[in-house]
Amino acid sequence: MAKTDCPNPWLLVDTLTQTEFAGMMRSGVKPDGQPFPGTIPWQNAFKMTDNDLAALYAYLTTEP
């Protein structure tokens, strides 16, 4: 099986506000200025509404 660059989103999202998260998802650029790896489909998130991104943020920041 090939190795993929699929980071754990919870580690990054926990450090962001909802506004920062939405900006990151729409730009494809992490807060440190690095672009997302090709395995992150941010182009799909770019099309999401504010409410959709808020729901995704809420899901990713909810403790299991």
Cα distance between residue 34 and residue 43, in whole Å: 16
Whether the CA torsion 7, 13, 18, 20 is positive or negative: it is: negative
Task: Tell me the whole-structure pTM to 2 decimals.
Answer: 0.74
- Provide the pLDDT for residue 19: 93
- 8 close to 60: Cβ distance less than 8 angstroms: no
DSSP single-letter state for residue 32? T
- Provide the pLDDT for residue 53: 93
Residue spans of the chain under pLDDT 70: 1-11, 64
- Provide the pLDDT for residue 55: 95
Contacts of residues 36-45 at CB distance under 8 Å and 24 or more positions apart, as own/partner, are: 37/5, 37/6, 37/7, 38/5, 39/4, 39/5, 39/6, 40/7
- Provide the pLDDT for residue 2: 44
